[in-house]
Amino acid sequence: MARETKAQRHERMREQYIRLIELYPVAQCSLHHRNEWELLVATVMSAQTTDERVNSVTPELFDRYPDAQALAQAQLWDVENIIRPVGFYHMKALHIIELSQALVERFDGVVPHTMDELTTLPGVGRKTANVVLGDAFHLPGFPVDTHVKRVTSRLRWHTQWRKTNPDPVEIEKQVTAEFPPEWWADVSHRLIFFGRNICHARNPECEICPLRESCPAAPQFLAQKAEKEARKKYAAQRKALKGHQR
């Protein structure tokens, strides 16, 4: 792909995002929640697991502990038993109890709505804070998870794309500079949906991808798939010929 100017990259990003809007008209958080505290707790638990698995345990968790005050007084073993299916349940149980205690002690049980305050809570990093800002408070927030990292790198939406482990803060900075702040949460959601459904970490489905014509990474992946299919075909033919020789 020829070297782009900043203006050309901006235009390409906008055109690609229009395709993502067409592909995913509804952009919303897939973690079930009724308020900002539930979203905060669910997001902390979502690390290194699926949203579906988190959604499977939150009804019981929030039924037994309906607010920060209640969870702040919970027994660790009881919370562990409830959230065990999400994986890393000991550390996550500890985090959500401690963050509830911090909310009660420092914020009167109310979830704060600034990045600086949110990231002082146990288990809350910039990604989690951005989820809460964007989806609970409808403030500018652009969560960068593993899907956003991968998709934006393949699409070359930032200058970190050559790196094995690109800096999420730098990705956030560069991508958000291209879109209005009120779009940020929706842009992140659509990139996540796209990463989950089409642009997989392994075997991205470039042949059905609506962005393949403008994606810098697509030719390489398509060529790799074509080579793999050719090798399979060649191996099958050799096997058939050997069978005939017998």
Selected catalytic residue, list 135, 145, 149, 186:
145
3-class SS letters over 52-78: HHHHHHHHHHHHHCCCHHHHHCCCHHH
Long-range contacts (CB closer than 8 Å, 24 or more residues apart) made by 197-204:
199/147, 199/150, 199/151, 199/154, 201/146, 201/150, 204/154
29 is an annotated ligand-binding site residue = no
The question of whether 127 is a catalytic residue gets the answer yes
The question of whether 145 is a catalytic residue gets the answer yes
Q: Cβ-count burial of 69 within 10 angstroms (0-12 exposed, 13-18 middle, 19+ buried)?
A: middle
Burial code (b: 16+ CB inside 10 Å, e: under 16) for 86-119 equals beebeebbebbbbbbbbbbeeeeeebbeeeeebe
Q: Cβ-count burial of 148 within 10 angstroms (0-12 exposed, 13-18 middle, 19+ buried)?
A: buried
Selected catalytic residue, list 127, 135, 149, 186:
127
Tell me the one-letter amino acid at 173. Answer: K
Q: Which residues are annotated as a binding site?
A: 199, 206, 209, 215
Residues recognised as catalytic: 127, 145
Q: Which residues are annotated as a binding site for [4Fe-4S] cluster?
A: 199, 206, 209, 215
